Amino acid sequence: MIRLSACLAALVLASCASPGASTAPTTPVAQAEDPYLWLEEVEGERALAWVEQQNARSLPVLENDARYQGLLNAALEVAQSRDRLATGQVRGGYLFNFWQDPDHVRGIWRRTRLADYAANRPRWETVLDIDALARTENANWVYQGADCDPSGTRCMISLSNGGLDASTDREFDLTTRRFVDGGFVVPEAKSNLGWLDRDTLLVATNWGEGSLTESGYPFVLKAWRRGTPLSSATEIMRGEASDVSISVSTFEDESGDHIAIAVEGETFFETVYSLISAEGPVRITLPRKSTIHEFFNDRLIVTLEEAWTIGGQTYPSGSLLALPLSHATLAAPRIEVVFTPNARQSIEDVEATRDAILVAGFDNVRGRLQRFTFSGGQWRGEQIALPPTGVVSLAGASTSESQAFATFEDFLTPPTLYALNGTRAASVRSLPAQFDASPYVTEQFEATSADGTRVPYFVVRRRDTPMNGQNPTLLYAYGGFQLSQTPSYNAYIGRLWLDQGGTYVLANIRGGGEFGPDWHAAGLLTNRQRIYDDFFAVERDLVERRITSPRRLGISGRSNGGLLMGVMLNQHPEMVNAAIIGSPLLDMLRYDQLLAGASWVGEYGSPSVPEQRAFLEQITAYQNLRPGENFPTVFIYTSTKDDRVHPGHARKYGARLEELGVPFLYYENTDGGHSANANLREAARRRTLEYMYLTQRLID
């Protein structure tokens, strides 16, 4: 698939806003010079001293709790469990999988024959041991992925220093299981690579001064021939410094035909595609808001993120289309409709096998898997029967194979792997439960937002939970970038929260993709208050249903969800007694100047555009921070090595709270990248800190 690529006091119910009330944005604050810019120096001595001081102050509050070690032990059991489904990439008769466990903390890249995998008798061969490589090279390597050439024997391996988005890319031989002497090596950068053929690599990388966009990504694409220095690579095309990035994606269809497509991301959501041919790049006729997923039956398989009118015909937003490759660069291409979702459906993933297109999606946030074939000039679709209560994910498919794999899970059901043959789904392996789900039940409700929109949310609770408003409840949401929040199995939630007496809530607010591109578009730019109104509506609905109360309600979000937390704390601090703010965006007047921030202007708007800046001044969590008596003690976490969302957001927010004398907890992991997880042990530790905090705030 091609896509740019990344909230104290208990209040009585009567004090909450009425269901139909609109939420007024925060009054914009007068601008003054930021006194905490020094905290944006990621590795600055003064900044790191502040981080060390905050960690030393905050961690004992959580880690010295008598219950902490028990929670940590449970989290480690989850993180290091070997009972996980080994899914991955199908290629050349093998399934390739990246695996981490207590013996392989950094992980191993391995493979097994497809037939053995489908029979649940995998015989794994280690292809590359990242722990051993890191020891040998005395490096802090984190595996970031592999991209293999059309023959399937040479792969570019991406290795990151400590979890950064930037990686070093090195050519690896699957036959010898060694890095290729004198092979392709692209130095550390936020690069994007693709194979034109066995001896030609398409490279978008940091070519030196003036070659990166304002977002820090490359905008020049070159072809690099084997045996020549990288500096001699020939330019194929270039974008603009104002673009988000330029990248390349490659595809093989079921006949083995190989194509390469240049992807010029003009904004995060607007893309120009060009087919790379011997004559150079030729633009593909598609709207700027669209995604090319696959190359199948000599056709590009595409979803639309906006309605498209061409040749007198309008194709709705969210549609799945096929464009014959021979027509794709024509001004008026032939277009075939594969599937058009309704207003409460979405398409989440599209993958091709030798015989069909597989489409995973949602129907009212319940998983659905469809299979589409092309015959006699017509597309025909059938549904593959899988349980309807959770999420269905594609877990391995290739145009070289008829067989594919999918998984099913829900909040209380561990993942099951299915082998797909035609429309038949045969269970291969079901994971054992990591917590006892029998006391719990999942329900789906809807809250009514300020503009009347119905906003669904899930509640996972004990069956015997009394509806007395006293249930410790964690509400999680994201609300951005068309990323859907799914009813998935999470043993951390089960072991560290449900089993401690907590209730878990997942909100499907606007900004996500649960109901397709329009659900996302409804909250873009200056319409973003709708997202916050949706979240407030869910908070209020939980209280009105007496599932919980502000004294027992905690909220959590990370990245864009961290911004959501900051906004909700400013707009409705009275609704919660705990808030986890993870790897957040919080300074929305400088976000576009920090690391990859400029790439998100299509989501949030630009502080340089007066109308958009006026709205950003209303929602920016950092500048509008004015804690009152209802402001809870929050828990903020980030990572020093997050080179996507700048750790300065979290640091400055904490410093401002400190200046105001407001209690808060802060944890900055020095490794881990944007996920804030350097390895399995750190993943367990971070989650333990979160749930220890929630226990102290909501259960005690």
pLDDT higher than threshold 80 for residue 317 = yes
- Cα–Cα distances in angstroms (integers) from residue 360 to residues 298, 368, 426, in the given order: 22, 6, 17
Tell me if 455 sits within 8 A of 515, measured CB to CB. no
The span from the CA of 696 to the CA of 700, in Å, is 5
pLDDT digits (tens, 9 = 90+) for 27-84: 444 456 899 999 999 999 999 999 999 999 999 999 999 999 999 999 999 998 888 8
pLDDT higher than threshold 90 for residue 663 = yes
The span from the CA of 666 to the CA of 53, in Å, is 10
Provide the pLDDT for residue 32.
Answer: 64
- 500 belongs to a structural domain: yes
Provide the pLDDT for residue 678.
Answer: 54
pLDDT higher than threshold 80 for residue 11 = no
Q: What mean pLDDT comes out for the span 98-106?
A: 91
Tell me if 160 sits within 8 A of 191, measured CB to CB. no
pLDDT higher than threshold 60 for residue 173 = yes
Helix orientation angle between 45-63 and 648-660, rounded to the nearest 10 degrees: 70
Q: What mean pLDDT comes out for the span 333-344?
A: 95
Q: pTM of this prediction?
A: 0.86
673 in helix, strand or coil?
A: helix
Which residues span the domain enclosing 564?
434-680
pLDDT higher than threshold 70 for residue 671 = no
The span from the CA of 540 to the CA of 548, in Å, is 10
pLDDT higher than threshold 80 for residue 236 = yes
Provide the pLDDT for residue 677.
Answer: 54
- Cα–Cα distances in angstroms (integers) from residue 390 to residues 84, 338, 409, 486, 652, in the given order: 18, 24, 6, 8, 39
More confident residue, 1 or 203: 203
Q: How confident is the model at residue 23 (pLDDT cuts 50, 70, 90)?
A: very low
Tell me if 484 sits within 8 A of 348, measured CB to CB. yes
Tell me if 548 sits within 8 A of 503, measured CB to CB. yes
Provide the pLDDT for residue 84.
Answer: 87
Provide the pLDDT for residue 501.
Answer: 96
Q: How confident is the model at residue 682 (pLDDT cuts 50, 70, 90)?
A: confident
Q: What mean pLDDT comes out for the span 180-199?
A: 95
450 in helix, strand or coil?
A: coil
Please, which residues have CB within 8 angstroms of residue 640's CB and are 6 or more apart in sequence?
Answer: 42, 43, 48, 51, 647, 668, 669, 670, 671
Minimum mean pLDDT range among 23-32, 215-224, 544-553:
23-32
Q: How confident is the model at residue 357 (pLDDT cuts 50, 70, 90)?
A: very high
- Cα–Cα distances in angstroms (integers) from residue 201 to residues 143, 294, 576, in the given order: 20, 20, 52
Q: Which residues are 378's β-sheet partners? A: 375
Minimum mean pLDDT range among 263-267, 547-551, 611-615, 647-651:
263-267
The span from the CA of 261 to the CA of 294, in Å, is 11
- 665 belongs to a structural domain: yes
Minimum mean pLDDT range among 499-508, 644-653, 673-682, 687-696:
673-682
In 3D space, the residue among 273, 282, 167 whose CA is nearest the CA of residue 217 turns out to be: 167
The span from the CA of 650 to the CA of 48, in Å, is 13
pLDDT digits (tens, 9 = 90+) for 526-535: 999 999 999 9
- 86 belongs to a structural domain: no
**Burial of 314 (C-beta count, 10 Å sphere; 0-12/13-18/19+):** exposed
Alpha carbon 29 to its chain centroid, in Å, reads 32
Q: Which residues are 634's β-sheet partners? A: 664
The span from the CA of 119 to the CA of 92, in Å, is 17
Tokens of 408: 């099913």
Q: What mean pLDDT comes out for the span 85-98?
A: 93
Catalytic residue, chosen from 319, 346, 674, 675, is 674
Tell me if 66 sits within 8 A of 75, measured CB to CB. no
Provide the pLDDT for residue 641.
Answer: 85
In 3D space, the residue among 280, 241, 242, 288 whose CA is nearest the CA of residue 263 turns out to be: 288
- Cα–Cα distances in angstroms (integers) from residue 533 to residues 445, 474, 537, 673, in the given order: 17, 18, 6, 31
Q: How confident is the model at residue 215 (pLDDT cuts 50, 70, 90)?
A: confident
The span from the CA of 402 to the CA of 396, in Å, is 11
Provide the pLDDT for residue 18.
Answer: 31
Tally of CB atoms within 10 A around 535 = 33
Provide the pLDDT for residue 613.
Answer: 97
Whether residue 559 lies in the annotated active site? yes
Domains identified in the chain, total number: 1
Provide the pLDDT for residue 26.
Answer: 45
Provide the pLDDT for residue 673.
Answer: 55
- 352 belongs to a structural domain: no
pLDDT digits (tens, 9 = 90+) for 143-153: 999 999 998 89
Q: What mean pLDDT comes out for the span 431-439?
A: 96
Tell me if 601 sits within 8 A of 607, measured CB to CB. no
Q: Which residues are 352's β-sheet partners? A: 357
Provide the pLDDT for residue 271.
Answer: 93
Minimum mean pLDDT range among 226-230, 343-347, 569-573, 668-672:
668-672
pLDDT higher than threshold 60 for residue 3 = no
Tell me if 93 sits within 8 A of 114, measured CB to CB. yes
In 3D space, the residue among 667, 642, 664 whose CA is nearest the CA of residue 559 turns out to be: 642
Consecutive H or E run containing 615:
helix 610-619
Q: Which residues of 330-361 are buried (b: 16+ CB within 10 A; e: fewer)?
A: eeebebbebbebeebbbbbbbbbbbbbbbbbb
The span from the CA of 586 to the CA of 623, in Å, is 8
pLDDT digits (tens, 9 = 90+) for 453-511: 999 999 999 999 999 999 999 999 999 999 999 999 999 999 999 999 999 999 999 99
Tell me if 125 sits within 8 A of 112, measured CB to CB. yes
Tell me if 624 sits within 8 A of 663, measured CB to CB. no
pLDDT higher than threshold 70 for residue 7 = no
Alpha carbon 350 to its chain centroid, in Å, reads 17
Catalytic residue, chosen from 167, 484, 559, 675, is 559
Provide the pLDDT for residue 675.
Answer: 54
Percent of the chain with pLDDT over 90: 85
Provide the pLDDT for residue 464.
Answer: 94
Provide the 8-state DSSP code for 21. Answer: P
- 562 belongs to a structural domain: yes
The phi and psi torsions of 342 (rounded to 5 degrees) equal: -85, -175
- 618 belongs to a structural domain: yes
Per DSSP bridges, beta strands 634-639 and 167-173 are unpaired
- 369 belongs to a structural domain: no
Tell me if 693 sits within 8 A of 665, measured CB to CB. yes
Mean residue pLDDT across the chain: 92
The dihedral of CA 333, 338, 344, 348: what is its sign?
Answer: negative
Tokens of 110: 């391995």
Per DSSP bridges, beta strands 503-507 and 473-476 are parallel
Tell me if 672 sits within 8 A of 682, measured CB to CB. yes
pLDDT higher than threshold 70 for residue 291 = yes
The span from the CA of 116 to the CA of 126, in Å, is 16
**Burial of 74 (C-beta count, 10 Å sphere; 0-12/13-18/19+):** buried
Please identify which residue in the block is written with the tokens 């399934």: 95
CATH number at residue 563: 3.40.50.1820
The span from the CA of 70 to the CA of 62, in Å, is 12
pLDDT higher than threshold 90 for residue 325 = yes
In 3D space, the residue among 100, 108, 102 whose CA is nearest the CA of residue 129 turns out to be: 108
- 138 belongs to a structural domain: no
